[in-house]
Amino acid sequence: MVEEQVEMLLNGDFAVAWAWKHVEPDVVAAFPITPQTLIVEKFAEFVANGEVRTQFINVESEHSAISAMVGAAAAGARTATATAANGLQLMHEILYIVSSMRLPVMMAVANRAVSGPINIHCDHTDAMGQRDAGWIMLFTEDAQEAYDTTIQAFKISENPDVLLPTMVCLDGFLVSHTAMNLKVFGNPKIVKDFVGEVRPVARIKLMGEEVELSLNPRNKIPLTFGPFCYYDYYFEFKRQQIEAMKAVPEIVERVNKEYYELSGRLYGNGRLVPWNVDDADIVAVVMGSAAGTLRWVARKYRERGTKIGILKVRMFRPFPWEEVQKLLENKEVVAVFDRAQDAGAMVGPLSLEVLSALYYSKNRPKNTVTYIFGLGGRDLTPELAEKTFEELIRIKEGKEKPFIKKYIGVRE
């Protein structure tokens, strides 16, 4: 049954803050950094007004913010933080610790270019720098999806088969500061029932006893978190993380579906959101807000009979490569739109994933190209999108040679 919801005008940052308000995490620690600042500002307001019971820890850096998450989450708390760009880079070393300690931390990342030169606008380079940190990574297209995905993230992370942190990415300014009509649940209890009133704490077998996987002094056997580990066992622990990641795709799908039943909003199968991909000759693969712009432009082409499809990648980690492979089978042209730096790499990070998947495909697309776009907030306007679609059509028709990668919107 779809629950009652309230329509509001909220930007992506406020949407995340509202999602937190409805989930009411036990502990939030964050350090402000544009374009994430509005999240913590708004949430701090909720805390100050007594609208939530969350412990809000003021910290002196992002490194401390994420470290506070480690302690709180290890103690069994439901935790959330938010950051962007250089703040995320400062968290880098701790991110691996969070995932290896199997702490279900929720983190919102308002994607921003990484300095230098200093830039505050959107690209995905900051998140891509963390792609191997063992976190689940979900990318959102607009403020509504940011609200919905933030709520879902808690439930995905806290699943006992997963116990991995989730990063919810929202494009800086394009989502974080763009207000839109969106719906939030009228009754926070709906959200609390969905994620669970309190964070479920996993239980593990230890020395013949079943104990809570937490720093709980009432545990029959006290646990040590984060000890030294030799080469004789480190690899085995990493192997466990790989296994946990394997459980994620199904959980993401299930949570997406359960959430749909409450909200009426469905994001594909939770992992990928294909738009007219099945019959398409040309498919654009993209993450974040640009998916909306490309879809908007593709609609016009569809009306004219040009078969363009858009494949929005919502879940970047774990990367749903088998599905991507399947969806892109036998396509005439696949174009990956990558909003991250690629210096020294063959293509951008999203494209590397797609190309790897396609390498093992028995029915590879005829042409696969990569566009690097939008670095440091360079706009992907509908006009630019149209130009690239025209180019893709020419490639399809054999009028233009395919290429490995090109840059959209940069002055050459």
Q: Which is nearer to other proteins, 179 or 355 (CB)?
A: 179
Q: Which is nearer to other proteins, 291 or 324 (CB)?
A: 291
Q: Which of 380, 393, 395, 408 binds other proteins (CB under 8 A)?
A: 380
Q: Which is nearer to other proteins, 290 or 347 (CB)?
A: 290
Task: Record the tokens describing residue 110, joined without a space.
Answer: 């308002």
Region of 84-92, 147-155, 227-235, 330-338 interacting with other proteins (CB under 8 A): 227-235
Q: Which of 60, 217, 233, 362 binds other proteins (CB under 8 A)?
A: 233
- Contact between 28 and 79 (Cβ < 8 Å): yes
State the nearest-atom distance from the C-beta of 177 to other proteins, in Å: 5
Angle in degrees, 0-180, between the axes of helices 12-23 and 143-158, rounded to the nearest 10: 40
| Coil/strand/helix, residue 6 | strand
| Coil/strand/helix, residue 41 | helix
| Rg of the chain over all Cα atoms, to the nearest angstrom | 21
**179 binds other proteins per the rule CB under 8 A:** yes
Alpha carbon 204 to its chain's center: 28
Task: Determine how many CB atoms are found less than 10 A away from the CB of residue 402.
Answer: 16
**How far are the Cα atoms of 18, 41, 198, 204, 218 from residue 282, in angstroms, in the given order?**
38, 43, 46, 49, 59
State the nearest-atom distance from the C-beta of 317 to other proteins, in Å: 19
Angle in degrees, 0-180, between the axes of helices 234-263 and 85-100, rounded to the nearest 10: 110
State the nearest-atom distance from the C-beta of 344 to other proteins, in Å: 29
**Of residues 283-322, those binding other proteins (CB under 8 A):** 289-290, 292-293, 295-296
**35 binds other proteins per the rule CB under 8 A:** yes
- Contact between 167 and 136 (Cβ < 8 Å): yes
The set of residues, in sequence order, having a beta carbon less than 8 Å from that of 393 and lying 6+ positions away, is 282, 306
Binding residue count for other proteins, defined by CB under 8 A: 56
Q: Which of 232, 278, 279, 412 binds other proteins (CB under 8 A)?
A: 232
Cis ω for the linkage preceding 318 (within 30 of 0)? yes
**75 binds other proteins per the rule CB under 8 A:** no
Length of the chain: 412
**206 binds other proteins per the rule CB under 8 A:** yes
Region of 62-70, 172-180, 353-361, 364-372 interacting with other proteins (CB under 8 A): 172-180
CA 99, 100, 101, 102 torsion-angle sign: positive
**381 binds other proteins per the rule CB under 8 A:** yes
State the nearest-atom distance from the C-beta of 128 to other proteins, in Å: 19
State the nearest-atom distance from the C-beta of 292 to other proteins, in Å: 4
Alpha carbon 322 to its chain's center: 19
Q: Quote the CA–CA distance of 382 and 386 in Å, as a whole number.
A: 6
Q: Which is nearer to other proteins, 175 or 262 (CB)?
A: 175
Q: Which of 178, 219, 306, 361 binds other proteins (CB under 8 A)?
A: 178
**219 binds other proteins per the rule CB under 8 A:** no
Query: What DSSP designation does 216 have?
Result: -
In the complex, the residues that contact other proteins under the rule CB under 8 A are 7-9, 11, 34-35, 100-103, 120-121, 141-142, 163, 171, 173-175, 177-181, 204-207, 213, 223-227, 229-230, 232-233, 235-237, 239-240, 243-244, 289-290, 292-293, 295-296, 379-383
